[in-house]
Amino acid sequence: MRSKDCDLLEKERIGGIGMVERRHFLKHLAAVTASSLFSVQLPRFCAWAQAEQSRPHFFMFIFARGGWDTTMVFEPKVGLETIDVDPVGDVAQVNGIQFLDNPLRPMVRTFFEEFGDRTCVINGVNTGTNSHDNGREIMMTGTAGMTDPDGPTIMASQHEQDDFLVPYMALSGPSYPGALGAGLATGTGYLDLLVGSGVGNPPSATVETNMDEFVSRKFTNYLNRLAVENRMGSRSSEMEESLGRWRELKGVKNQLGEEFRNLNNLESEGKALASAFERGYALTGSLRARGGWDSHNNNYNAQSPAFENTFSSLHSIVTTLASKNATSGPGTLLDQTTVMVLSEFARTPKLNDSNGKDHWADTSVMAIGAGVGGGRVLGGTDEYQESLPVSYATGQVDTSGAGQEIKPVNIGAALLEMAGLDPVVMLQDQVQPFNVFRA
């Protein structure tokens, strides 16, 4: 099925705009260096939508930066003296998902009522760290301090660079491009040019026109000075070409639509990313779930609204995915999109002197949508909230001696397999995928 965006861009080409006449549709402009450039040819960009020869598997990563309290929702530890739990919450089960229900967090229940059958909760994931920076890197890449690329980068890098406009659209979530990230347009200046730096307050049309005229004058004067000084070399032609691509990029920006205006919260960014998947702009993306997650003080008062806001946004995002047709073949966009919700670690079992909770290595992960065996809770922790070994065949706690711990790298390896990649080759290590959460 040919998309409206392809038709519109093709009309512009025929009309003489020249947008797609060039060999390269656009390039990464953040640093204007050879290593940061990548190309997108429009014919290939729209090919899968026209010929229905491919059905991309999209991945959306939502990151609660700061460290969530897993006992507030995912693993209710009610009735244990060793673990302090939200006193207002009650243990509930909906669509196979056990969680801590609280009237102050109604969207948690609503989400599981509507999408619990598409959701799998994985408890007892051992990050091995209490550091924010290391935790984020480990959750996204499986390692820390190794400059390894994260899963979304690996997935995006295995496609032709001209298959997607922005292969990895890291709108607000963490991204670790490693050696593979050049040209994939993660959370860099390229994306700022595309959706606007400080996207919540884009410049007016008049201001943007004045800025464009200023850049053009400045650039022309600079080239004229180089010519007078007889310094016109290869760099000047590269600069001229880059300015042309920048103008092309601004033309593309106008095609993105209303979904890409005022991206200032998880809901708006998630809907924009869903639209990017639908139109073939992106393959993967990462977003940030805002909130007072790093709750060293007043843990319950900070975590409760953070969970409520996140699940409210998550409900809207997943509803949007479920309401859109798949890019090809039967089903919906949710049937070809896997949504991963995660945080760098959890919070300590007991409250501190400030009624807060500090950093704790053992956390939870939630998987939703395509390829996920929903209605299940896997893994777990003990009465001290420490990770327990599990069977990789069933996903259930196994203390017989045959069980293994769940680490972020095991989940990441399973996601790579879900994307059709060999984790041994991609991670250059023998990592056992935690495939049991998959459908």
pLDDT of residue 191: 58
Which two three-digit tokens encode residue 22? 């060039």
DSSP codes joined into one string, 116-138: GGGEEEEEEEE-----HHHHHHH
The total domain count for the chain is 1
Instruction: Tell me whether residue 167 is in a domain.
Output: yes
Instruction: Tell me whether residue 22 is in a domain.
Output: no
Instruction: Tell me whether residue 378 is in a domain.
Output: yes
DSSP SS3 for 8:
helix
What's the CATH number where 78 sits?
Answer: 3.40.720
pLDDT of residue 78: 96
> What residues form DSSP beta bridges with 91?
100
Instruction: Tell me whether residue 405 is in a domain.
Output: yes
Q: Rounded to an integer, what distance in angstroms lies between the CA atom of residue 54 and that of residue 39?
A: 20
Asked if 65 and 306 touch (Cβ cutoff 8 Å), the reply is no
Instruction: Tell me whether residue 228 is in a domain.
Output: no
Instruction: Tell me whether residue 357 is in a domain.
Output: yes
Instruction: Tell me whether residue 46 is in a domain.
Output: no
pLDDT in tens, the chain (439 residues): 334 444 443 333 333 323 322 222 233 223 222 223 233 333 333 434 433 447 899 999 999 999 999 999 999 999 999 999 999 999 999 999 999 999 999 999 999 999 999 999 999 999 999 999 999 999 999 999 888 999 999 999 887 766 787 788 888 899 998 877 655 655 544 455 566 544 445 567 687 777 778 878 888 888 888 888 887 776 677 777 667 656 666 666 666 667 777 788 999 999 999 999 998 888 999 999 999 999 999 999 999 999 999 999 999 999 999 999 999 999 999 999 999 999 999 999 999 999 999 999 999 999 999 999 999 999 999 999 999 999 999 999 999 999 999 999 999 999 999 999 999 888 877 899 999 999 9
Pick from 174, 201, 208, 202: which is nearest to 188 by CA?
174
Asked if 293 and 343 touch (Cβ cutoff 8 Å), the reply is yes
Q: What is the pTM of this model?
A: 0.80
Instruction: Tell me whether residue 408 is in a domain.
Output: yes
Q: How far is CA 109 from CA 91, 104, 115, in A?
A: 11, 11, 10
- Domain residue limits at 393: 57-200+265-437
pLDDT of residue 160: 73
Return the ∠ at Cα 266 (arms to 264 and 270), rounded to 5°.
105
